[in-house]
Amino acid sequence: MPEAPREYDVVVFGATGFTGALTAEYLAKNASEATSWAIAGRSREKLERVRERIGSPDIPIVEADVGDAGSLERLAQSTKVVITTVGPYINYGEPVVAACAQNGTDYVDLTGEPVFVDRMWLGYHEQAQASGARLVHSCGFDSIPYDLGALYTVQQLPEGQPISLEGYVRVGGTFSGGTYHSAIHILGRLRQGAKVGRERRQREPRPPGRTIKGVPGRPHHDRQAGGWAVPFPTIDPQTVLRSARALERYGPEFSYSHYLVVRRLPVLAGMAVGAGTAVALAQLAPTRNLLLKLRDPGEGPSEEQRARSWFKVMFSGQSNGTRIRTQVSGGDPGYGETSKMLAEAALSLAHDDLPKTAGQLTPAVAMGDKLRERLQRAGIEFEVRT
């Protein structure tokens, strides 16, 4: 943690956006009185409207802009933790990471963009280690349920033994324009992402004497998971495997497979066609721009839609003859629970007694059980299934 006193414990940067405003609202309702926090963004007028809307007219405002390095340096120097919801992160995230890494300020975001995470590791991991900053990406539905759920499952299995783990994701909900834009940018940078990923793998050390691997898996029907399971190559299995490499509790040999679960085959077929079309169109700038125009980045689901949304992540683990199933579950994955996860991750970094770490870290490595306990108190369930 930074040694110099900071004016704030937490600052929400991007509070005028859809998810940023939900995160500020969560803090207004749930942060302790001892927590000093503020909201930040480009427009003071819009920030004033946000704090009025969330019923916190006295919350301090910090004016900052990703195009103004000086404003970001002042922001980073003012707080222990920066929450940023300003995305797509591949376009707008690096200046915030740079300011936090330079100033020893902890950082959390919501990114599901592998190329961004890998580029930030290449560019700022060592600087953050030197300054003491903890850069923790993917602190929302990407990737906390999977990362902390995998750790929770591993902790139920024998220690010091090989572990095989599978994760099965089921969701019911919709997504915002910002999430849609991030997804299109990810699809449009698949080749670039592969190149940056290779460079990171070449430079990043591997744990000596331990084997950690991702297993793509195959499509299959799993009755206990609730339907047809297909490999789901998001950032989430990458996060799980990075935690496994960093923490010896995952055993001398660890493998992980990650699946999306759908109930009916026709739905699965439609998803496959839609995904293939989106990938093809996102490769060229003209068609990619047309895709981006289909949704406004500021759009999001209504409160009624969010109230009907839910998620369940089931884990199936085995080690040395022991088999176990666990589940992580909650409400609206993209927004209600994501803003909760993001806010609680920042509060954990600001207040909890955590391992002495620095650099680019996963949620499980940076916060682990402390964050899981916070989320359980906030209504997200972690349970062993019979």
Position 238 confidence tier, pLDDT thresholds 50, 70, 90: very high
Bond preceding residue 143 cis, omega within 30 of 0: yes
Closest CA to 250 of 204, 210, 205: 210
Q: Average pLDDT for residues 79-101, to the nearest whole number? A: 96
Beta strand pairing status for 310-319 and 163-172? Answer: antiparallel
How does pLDDT run across 38-61, given as a tens digit for each residue? Answer: 999 999 999 999 999 999 999 999
Residues 337 and 172: their CA atoms lie apart, in Å, by 13
CB–CB of 153/254 below 8 Å?
A: no
Helix ranges (H only) for the chain are: 18-30, 44-53, 69-78, 89-92, 94-103, 114-131, 144-154, 177-188, 190-203, 235-246, 265-282, 285-292, 303-307, 336-351, 363-366, 368-377
* CA atoms within a 13 Å half-sphere pointing along the CA-CB vector of 161: 16
CA distance 1 to 6: 11
Q: Is a pLDDT exceeding 90 seen at residue 122? A: yes
Task: Tell whether the model's pLDDT for residue 77 goes beyond 70.
Answer: yes
How much is the pLDDT for 4?
64
Q: What is the largest CA-CA distance in the chain?
A: 61
Homologous superfamily (CATH) of 8-140+336-368 is: NAD(P)-binding Rossmann-like Domain (3.40.50.720)
Measured CA to CA, the distance from residue 156 to residue 145 in angstroms comes to 16
Count CB-CB contacts under 10 A for residue 266. 9
pLDDT at 290: 63
| Residue given tokens 């040999």 in the structure block | 253
> 348 pLDDT exceeds 90?
yes
pLDDT for position 46: 97
What is residue 273's predicted lDDT score, i.e. its pLDDT?
A: 45
pLDDT of 182 reads 55
pLDDT at 268 over 60: no
* Cα separations in angstroms, 73 against 65, 79, 383: 10, 11, 42
Average per-residue pLDDT for the chain? 89
Pairwise CA distance, residues 281 & 287, whole Å: 5
Please say if the pLDDT value at position 354 is more than 50: yes
End-to-end Cα, the chain, rounded Å: 40
- pLDDT over threshold 60, residue 291: no
The confidence score (pLDDT) of residue 1 equals 46
**In the predicted model, is pLDDT for residue 282 greater than 70?**
no
Q: What percentage of the chain carries pLDDT values higher than 90?
A: 73
Per-residue pLDDT at 2: 46
User: 127-136, 146-155, 175-184: which has the minimum mean pLDDT?
Assistant: 175-184
Report, as an integer, the average pLDDT of 292-299.
Answer: 60
Beta carbons of 108 and 342 less than 8 angstroms apart: yes
pLDDT given for residue 274 in this prediction: 55
pLDDT at 176 over 80: no
CATH number of 144-332: 3.30.360
Residue 233 has pLDDT above 90, yes or no: no
Q: Is the pLDDT of residue 125 over 50?
A: yes
Q: Domain coordinates of the chain in residue numbers?
A: 8-140+336-368, 144-332
Q: Is the pLDDT of residue 6 over 90?
A: yes
Question: Is the predicted pLDDT of residue 172 greater than 90, yes or no?
Answer: no
Q: Residue 226 has what pLDDT?
A: 85
Amino acid at 70: G
